[in-house]
């Protein structure tokens, strides 16, 4: 069991399940509705907790009613939120999600009007107790400050950063990570048509890092720090039920595999297996 800190967000996800994704300007009735905790960093922690790790979250929590289901779930998975920045006023970020029963796809409209987690709060964390720190790559300037601080305190600590979408200045974080976890949206925005091409392009900018890129139903690719290229196909479940959080599950399973000392080929296969199994069930409960 490792002690893992993740820096990133928690959201309230309002998930409407529909038969098929509706045409624009239509009116449809949802088949079911769920209001659950979401957000990349806390999604990954919920999976890591089920994989047996001791997890802590550093993010922003507002004292308002929408925080209740979020806190209840963090408690359920024994995720420590004592390092969070607590605000007396404001709203937790919300995502309005259309989940298509026909394809398992999830379309997300995310709304956020909240300050980001900051260096001032990160500095208060005792990093000595952690084996791994994972960052949801957001707010590059402040995050770079956290990474510099982390390296002065714990030069040896394993650090991963998720690079999900293009954000101005996000590339400045690359040199600070041991492991960079890319998503398709980032690759597309950089003009790459596939994961392997993105990883080769990034390796030129960030040498001596392990680089991973997930690519939905095509599986995932890695380019390790020694230049080795690896690929795992996806593991398609018998029925594609729900792809929300597949990438966050994949990232958690990569971290878990690396903590267990698996090589890159085995790590990718394991992460695709866990993420594929997640796509075969609703939500993140029972994913391990
Ligand atoms: P995100 O949730 O960030 O959009 P991806 O769609 O890239 O992430 O998926 C992450 C991982 O989840 C993939 O590498 C794959 O292993 C698994 N996965 C995603 N979609 C499917 C699918 N339709 N069938 C099986 N596995 C999937
Ligand atoms: C899934 C997810 C949702 C959340 C959204 C935030 O990866 O974390 O739970 O609403 O993305 O961007």
Query: For residues 244 and 278, is the Cβ–Cβ distance under 8 A?
Result: no
What is the predicted pLDDT for the residue at 242? 92
pLDDT at 188 over 90: yes
Which DSSP category does 157 fall into?
A: -
Give Cα separations from 86 to 38, 73, 89, 159, 222 (angstroms). Answer: 18, 17, 9, 25, 37
Task: Please tell me if the CB atom of residue 241 comes closer than 6 angstroms to any atom of ligand 1.
Answer: no
Task: Please tell me if the CB atom of residue 234 comes closer than 6 angstroms to any atom of ligand 1.
Answer: yes
- List the beta strands (DSSP E) in the chain: 3-7, 11-18, 32-38, 54-58, 60-62, 85-87, 94-100, 106-111, 132-136, 158-163, 179-182, 210-214, 220-223, 229-232
- Nearest CA residue ID for atom 4, ligand 1: 247
pLDDT at 288 over 90: no
Q: How far is the CA of 39 from the centre of ligand 2 (A)?
A: 4
* The dihedral formed by the CA atoms of 155, 161, 167 and 170, expressed in degrees to the nearest 10: 30
Rounded distance between C-alpha atoms, residue 122 and residue 262, angstroms: 30
Rounded distance between C-alpha atoms, residue 74 and residue 72, angstroms: 6
* The dihedral formed by the CA atoms of 183, 186, 188 and 191, expressed in degrees to the nearest 10: -140
pLDDT at 286 over 90: yes
* Residues framing ligand 2 (Cβ under 6 A): 11, 13, 38-40, 43, 95, 108, 110, 244-245, 247-248
Cβ-based neighbour number of residue 259 at 10 Å: 19
Average pLDDT score over the chain? 97
Of 1, 85, 13, 82, the C-alpha closest to 43 is 13
Q: How far is the CA of 270 from the centre of ligand 1 (A)?
A: 13
pLDDT at 195 over 90: yes
- Nearest CA residue ID for atom 21, ligand 1: 217
What is the predicted pLDDT for the residue at 138? 93
Task: Please tell me if the CB atom of residue 213 comes closer than 6 angstroms to any atom of ligand 1.
Answer: no
What is the predicted pLDDT for the residue at 238? 95
Q: Nearest ligand to the C-alpha of residue 220?
A: 1
Rounded distance between C-alpha atoms, residue 207 and residue 68, angstroms: 43
What is the predicted pLDDT for the residue at 102? 92
What is the predicted pLDDT for the residue at 81? 98
3-state DSSP call for residue 205? helix
- List the beta strands (DSSP E) in 64-185: 85-87, 94-100, 106-111, 132-136, 158-163, 179-182
pLDDT in tens, 25-67: 999 999 999 999 999 999 999 999 999 999 999 999 999 999 9
Of 138, 132, 187, 184, the C-alpha closest to 160 is 132
Task: Please tell me if the CB atom of residue 279 comes closer than 6 angstroms to any atom of ligand 1.
Answer: yes
pLDDT at 252 over 90: yes
pLDDT at 133 over 90: yes
- Nearest CA residue ID for atom 26, ligand 1: 276
Q: How far is the CA of 108 from the centre of ligand 2 (A)?
A: 8
Q: How far is the CA of 200 from the centre of ligand 1 (A)?
A: 21
Ligand 2: nearest atom to the Cα of 13: 10
Q: How far is the CA of 221 from the centre of ligand 1 (A)?
A: 12
Cβ-based neighbour number of residue 100 at 10 Å: 18
- Nearest CA residue ID for atom 7, ligand 2: 245
Sign of the C-alpha dihedral computed for residues 43, 46, 52 and 57 taken in this order: positive
What is the predicted pLDDT for the residue at 143? 97
Give percent of the chain above pLDDT 70. Answer: 100
Q: How far is the CA of 154 from the centre of ligand 1 (A)?
A: 33
Task: Please tell me if the CB atom of residue 275 comes closer than 6 angstroms to any atom of ligand 1.
Answer: yes
């Amino acid at each position: 069991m490792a002690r893992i800190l993740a820096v990133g967000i928690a959201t309230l996800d309002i998930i409407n399940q529909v038969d098929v994704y509706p045409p624009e300007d239509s009116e449809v009735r949802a088949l079911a509705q769920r209001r659950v905790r979401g957000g990349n960093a806390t999604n990954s922690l919920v999976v890591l907790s089920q994989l047996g790790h001791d997890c802590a979250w550093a993010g922003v929590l507002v004292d308002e009613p929408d925080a209740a289901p979020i806190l209840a779930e963090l408690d359920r998975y024994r995720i420590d939120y004592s390092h969070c920045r607590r605000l007396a006023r404001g709203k937790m970020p919300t995502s309005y999600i259309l989940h298509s029963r026909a394809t398992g796809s999830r379309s997300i409209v995310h709304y956020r009007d909240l300050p980001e987690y900051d260096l001032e709060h990160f500095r208060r964390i005792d990093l000595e107790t952690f084996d791994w720190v994972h960052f949801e790559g957001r707010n590059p300037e402040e995050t770079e400050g956290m990474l510099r601080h982390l390296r002065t305190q714990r030069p040896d600590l394993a650090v991963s950063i998720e690079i999900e979408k293009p954000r101005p200045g996000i590339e400045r974080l690359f040199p600070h990570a041991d492991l960079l976890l890319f998503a398709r949206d980032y690759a597309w925005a950089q003009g790459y048509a596939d994961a392997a091409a993105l990883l080769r392009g990034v390796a030129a900018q960030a040498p001596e890092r392990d680089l991973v890129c997930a690519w939905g139903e095509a599986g995932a690719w890695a380019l390790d720090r020694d230049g080795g290229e690896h690929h795992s196909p996806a593991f398609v479940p018998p029925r594609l039920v729900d792809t929300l959080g597949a990438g966050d599950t994949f990232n958690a399973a990569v971290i878990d595999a690396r903590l267990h000392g698996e090589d890159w080929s085995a790590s990718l296969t394991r992460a695709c297996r866990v993420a594929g199994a997640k796509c075969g069930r609703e939500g993140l409960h029972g994913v391990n």
